[in-house]
Structure 1
């Protein structure tokens, strides 16, 4: 069995092992990390040897920590990272490069149709009728996208939304409200097979699926990192928020979508969103205007150039071929947009 895991902000960990009699055997840990002293790698292998194959990541990490020689220094490596790689090996998880990735980047669509496309495309991936897909959104209208479980009246000021002609939609994933303006927002979705995130906790899967975009931002001179649970942040402030939804039909799939602030009209955002004092306090800021620091200022690049560089970065890592929404998928999405995502019953399902 073979498992790989890139430690968030760190290096790649590779684990090869067998299982015999319900235990881990012939465990070999490798990777491009740094580790001192030399014999620490043997201690890690020995700590994992014979462990019950169903030991969770926390239990495996504890075994590793207890076995490390005094004064061990890890750089780009953590005990938890090794444990996750082991769990992915045992679960027979797939890797990014196991797939032929498809890119969808098409004309602007309405907010409701974007919600529907996410559900349809991810369901098609789960059914095995579509390859893993990176979809870059283009927005036809300003919007507020609220999380699946958020209260509509607690999040959105209806008078402010009407004043700025902002459409309010509810997505299928959890998380918080996102304020969208077509020229100021970069949104993308990853629709991936469940096997890609096997062995990862729900929280770990966020960092794992965001890692490529951190590299893309780094190439643009932006020092970005993953901030648990679902933010991408920089030295200057938050630049993006992520959300996920598991699709359990077929062989299973994960929808991971991210909204990035390229630019922002903070006054308009505050007129439309009801942002409570408790939320601001939790983020350690006194003003909502300071919570998000747009990519326009940090990169100095046009929005289209940022998107092109993100696509090039993904293609360079994993391969990516141009695709499109099929006519069958678009038919399904238009029906779903009309019967679900444009209805008051769905949008106000949590009043």
Structure 2
């Protein structure tokens, strides 16, 4: 993260970039007259300390300066933002993996991504057993996609939701060393997003010995029916489900923010010892999980959700998001990874 810069004057938000096109001198661009050449020099020096962001053949270092309450300003770290829209399940998992790889190689900065699923998809955790837990005939009958995630956790029906992923180095100064504490820090962005929607969300942790035992050995194959550390709840019910993996020195956390939920469809996709157990689990599920539009007096659209959680991540992580579009070469890499790995039976039915 950039060191704070405290100029002796109050100003509106200042944004500028330093770009180094191949074979040319650095170009310093300011959107308006800068009142202090000494401060400008300090900002340039700070910007040069940012690792190259890569992309488009340019090494770019960028940050914005924002007002604080005292009338001064502080530099905020810039993270990349990708809205990839509605994509096939294999592509979604391949892009998350590619972003992790590129960040580990220093090619891209920390990144936040929003996405959806086409078709609606059942994703399962890395360690779940397909034959034992999933009714594949029901998945096919409902025309759903199916994919195994590189992260742990339980089964998730991705339909009427906003899905997010966060890619950031384990060594990032804002990231705690433990998985649970890093989860809390990253999820602060989601918490703030719910608050921008007017929902009183908060973190809850398992308290009883029974709840802690369920963390080690979940009794349900359904994600939103299983407890987790620092889960986000509204009115006592879980409203977002997330999973995390750490590979190559990088944290990948992705998860689902429910706008609406078809509980009957969800529970038709799993196997149960008998119908009575299924009915009991579904009945209990209604007490444990909730979607955004069950809690609001009006329907929240996907675009409204994107705006709220975009601002939520900026506030919760104290960052600035810069939108980015994948290059043709990057897209080709992701599509090949999707084809060779995440579309394969070897990956999806490995357990």
Interval containing the TM-score (normalised by the shorter chain):
0.5 to 0.7
Distance 1:138 1:156 in 2: 22
Residues 157-199 of structure 1: CA deviation (Å, up to 9, x unaligned) = 1121111011110010111111111xx1110000111222654
**Contact 1:296–1:302 (8 Å) recurs in 2:** no
Distance 1:170 1:158 in 2: 13
Question: What SS does the corresponding residue of 2:78 show, helix, strand or coil?
Answer: coil
Match of 1:209 in 2: 186
Q: Does 1:294 align with 2:291?
A: yes
CA change 1:199–1:265 in 2 (3 A) is closer
Match of 2:151 in 1: 173
**Contact 2:103–2:109 (8 Å) recurs in 1:** yes
Match of 2:210 in 1: none
Question: What SS does the corresponding residue of 1:293 show, helix, strand or coil?
Answer: coil
Q: Does 1:274 align with 2:291?
A: no
**Contact 2:175–2:185 (8 Å) recurs in 1:** no
CA change 1:296–1:341 in 2 (3 A) is same
CA change 1:162–1:289 in 2 (3 A) is farther
Match of 2:319 in 1: 318
Q: Does 1:308 align with 2:307?
A: yes
Question: What SS does the corresponding residue of 1:107 show, helix, strand or coil?
Answer: strand
**Contact 2:188–2:313 (8 Å) recurs in 1:** no
Distance 1:133 1:276 in 2: 42
The offset of 1:98, in angstroms, is: 6.1
Distance 1:156 1:219 in 2: 36
Match of 1:261 in 2: 258
Match of 1:42 in 2: none
The offset of 1:331, in angstroms, is: 1.6
CA change 1:106–1:235 in 2 (3 A) is same
Residues 236-255 of structure 1: CA deviation (Å, up to 9, x unaligned) = 5111111111121xxx2110
Pick from 99, 115, 119 the counterpart of residue 93 of structure 2.
115
Q: Does 1:227 align with 2:197?
A: no
Pick from 84, 105, 114 the counterpart of residue 127 of structure 1.
105
What TM-score comes out, normalization by structure 2 length? 0.65
Question: What SS does the corresponding residue of 2:171 show, helix, strand or coil?
Answer: helix
**Contact 1:121–1:329 (8 Å) recurs in 2:** no
Distance 1:154 1:143 in 2: 19
**Contact 1:157–1:272 (8 Å) recurs in 2:** yes
**Contact 1:150–1:176 (8 Å) recurs in 2:** yes
Distance 2:259 2:241 in 1: 12
Q: Does 1:330 align with 2:331?
A: yes
CA change 1:340–1:276 in 2 (3 A) is farther
Distance 2:307 2:76 in 1: 24
Question: What SS does the corresponding residue of 2:268 show, helix, strand or coil?
Answer: helix
Equivalent runs, 1:64-143 vs 2, <5 Å: 99-143=77-121
List alignment gaps of at least 5 residues for structure 1.
1-96
Distance 2:154 2:119 in 1: 20
The offset of 1:323, in angstroms, is: 0.5
CA change 1:246–1:293 in 2 (3 A) is same
Equivalent pairs counted in the alignment come to 248
**Contact 2:192–2:313 (8 Å) recurs in 1:** no
Match of 1:159 in 2: 137
**Contact 1:261–1:292 (8 Å) recurs in 2:** no
Question: What SS does the corresponding residue of 2:162 show, helix, strand or coil?
Answer: strand
Question: What SS does the corresponding residue of 1:189 show, helix, strand or coil?
Answer: strand
**Contact 2:124–2:154 (8 Å) recurs in 1:** yes
Equivalent runs, 1:186-201 vs 2, <5 Å: 186-196=162-172, 198-201=175-178
**Contact 1:236–1:293 (8 Å) recurs in 2:** no
